[in-house]
Structure 1
Amino acid sequence: MKYAYMIVFSFLLLCHVVAARQKVILLLADGLRWDRFEEDLPSLMRVEQNGVRAEWMDGVFVTLSTPSMYSIATGLYPESHGAIHNLYFDPVTGERTYTYYSTLQKAEWFDTGVEPVWVTAILQGLTAATIMYPGGSIPIKGIIPNKTITSTAENIRNYKMKDRIDLTLSWLEDDDFDLVFMYFDNPDAYLHLYGIGSVNGTAKLYEVDSQIGYLFDRLAETGLDQTTNVIIVSDHGHVNVERNDYVILSDYVDIEADIDFLVADYGPIFQLVPKNTSDDKVYNALKDAHSALHVFKKEDIPERLHYRDNPRILPIIGFVDPGWHMHTRNALHPAADVSSDHGYDNKWKVMKSSFYAQGPHFKKNHLAPALESVDLYNLMCEILDIEPAPNNGSRDRYVTMLASPTTTTSPAWTTSSDSKLTTAPLMTALSFVAGVIFSCN
């Protein structure tokens, strides 16, 4: 009989472990380049030892925050999800936004029929929250996360990184949430102001790293580390710019006479609609205007950029090389100066993103090959054991980092209309236990 009790106890313990729902925290540190800017950041290095680091992550074009982060959330390239820029614009009505924060309030920029993973999770019976993440505070398919903090300049100031972590942990522990997206606006904000290698920029980078260490310490203290998988990523890289390396569009075209609608003076890129769409006057004037400037007709954009097949993309697109900046008029150059920037072609190493992961779903001390940001949607769906919506990601690019790479889902639990956990595993366990006791007697 003693052995029967031991078997029963062991099996019930096993059932508890098997049936535990896996949770996901996605922490996005804006602008954290793949090489950590060659800094020995101790917390990220510890994650690398206890979990997984990918060599780098290939983000999407354009390498701006909104399109990049929405690709992570949906598994779709910007031409597929439609949030193609940090600014909202409509050349037909002339309506547009001029800031990142105002764009985040434009539901139509994000609600295009696609599914960010928090919507996928909620539709399948799970709970999800977002903290200052693009698309996470507006209705998408009629669904808003169960809890959310809107991304505004005021909230960025009021919710420090530690506050965002504490809030995330309270939602996981007290409310038993399954998925939380958490956004850090640094190191990006300080890098824009002070540049890579500056005293202030480097100090903020180490502060971000310290808060990542705090997150894992708190997970261990609460025991949430046993069921929580933390994915740490960035949306794009960063590179210092030279003040005297710039391109001025008005040196080559007459802005007022030749251009009907222009999105520019925001990062090193532009899009435009020429006034006369029947000839190539503007395109011809710009295409060979400067050795650091690359200009394409929409239909000729390289397929690798996945930035062509969407009606929101304007007829002519251009961007400069890393380290350069671009403005419409010379008078805007001093006012728009930044120390470090992004938005460049995603082929450049300086634009590559970071990927780290730690938790029960991942191997330990594992260096994985590079993956794409569009792969993360499938990865999160797999951890949460939910059915993904159509996307551009590939499991082949992340499968080697999984602790159990041969399975695509965890069959220990399934969702139902009124419960996150069905009784089937428990009933199976009880039946087994009853049989063991009977046979031992």
Structure 2
Amino acid sequence: MTSVRLDRRRLRPDSPSGGPSSAVAVAPTSYALVHTLGGNTPDDMGGDGAYANWLHGHFSCHKSQLGCVDVQRLIFTGRKTGSTGEFIGRMIPQFTRDLQRYLTTPALRMTRTIVLNWHIRYTGRPNAWTGRGSSQEMVAALQGIVAEAGYRLIVLYTVHESEGLGGEAWRYQPSSLLALNPDVQGQLGLQFRERVALSRVPGLMTCVHTSSVDLILQYLRGESTALIRTAAAVLLQQFRLRTVPSQRGNLARRQTQGIIVFGMITARHGLSAELIRLLCRRLAMYGFGRDFKVVIAGRTQTASLEVDLRAIDSARLVFHGTLDHRDGFTTLAGCRYAMSFDPLGFRDNASAQVNVTRAGHLLFSRNSGESSEAMIERALAEIVRCERDSEHYTDALIAQSGRFINTSPDAVGDELDQFLRALSSSEQ
């Protein structure tokens, strides 16, 4: 194991504000993580909010004097409507008070560095944009609070999507930008001068069978050989079939067989009533009986789309809506397949796709340049083969298992911690 030298330079005496202690050796790689969604709020079932919840939970459980000594989030509780200037004017006083109070936390005496991780996404509804409220005035106010308490502030922006960011003033004195997939990293690298690091979204929904395989993978320390990918896929398949939902009301739904179309119910992700009608028709033409369902699962963002989907006249269609977070995908463990109409295909930052893959469902997503209609035909031909040949289904899961291993929550979190340690040390 690489040793980390404890740095006793530039340590300040104890102060009423709870700043770094002169009596405590501080590792140069240490940091306290403060993160925020800006005007948005954490949500167990929403992509960015669920990611923030995972981030907070992971670092809370993996504290170290050599890395993250503590973690805290800034959650805006005030009124979120109004012009951008009015909104920022309400946010700054609350965030400065909250941060000033947090800086008195005793655990922070083990570091000199505060990492402010501001999540950013400018797609969706403007009043619910992740990161709304980032401003020069905000960063300056927080820098002043941190400096007064005897720490230094590193500003990091985690960018969930690059869309809409080009012409917006949203980043102020960042040490780095963090992209959640290679495409976003490439776009940010073309637009901005700051260093753009790369991370990804982990599986955010907990299932008993997924968590069981995660424990096994922890012992393998993130290895991804052909043998391990095969073992992970087979174990996940077997555990999924044997897991019983924790909620009695979900037992009947667990017997449902078919295809899950999972994710935010919004046209922005490629979902439409026309495509679902086409999928139902094509399933019939391929010879699937009515007991082979198309299950729409996810939280509604566009109410009119939900109305259109519920109005589809097909005995095959099941509009499930939001999953029970306590059961996650265990509720739909009988559905061996999943489908995504996202125009961008599979992405490391598409939490819906990551979650359904890690739950053990064979996911079909669009290839580059492929239409949704062509994807449906390709997927149904494969499903027919999988239904006839169980070994082919297992082989397909094995081919997909690299994604499962790559999005293990602990693996993603450990890599992110190493990045933050390096960032803290390099900014000395």
TM bucket, shorter chain: 0.3 to 0.5
TM-score of the superposition, structure 1-length normalised?
Answer: 0.33
Choose between structure 1 and 2 for higher RCO, CA contacts under 8 A separated by at least 6 residues: 1
Greater share of helix: 2
TM-score of the superposition, structure 2-length normalised?
Answer: 0.34
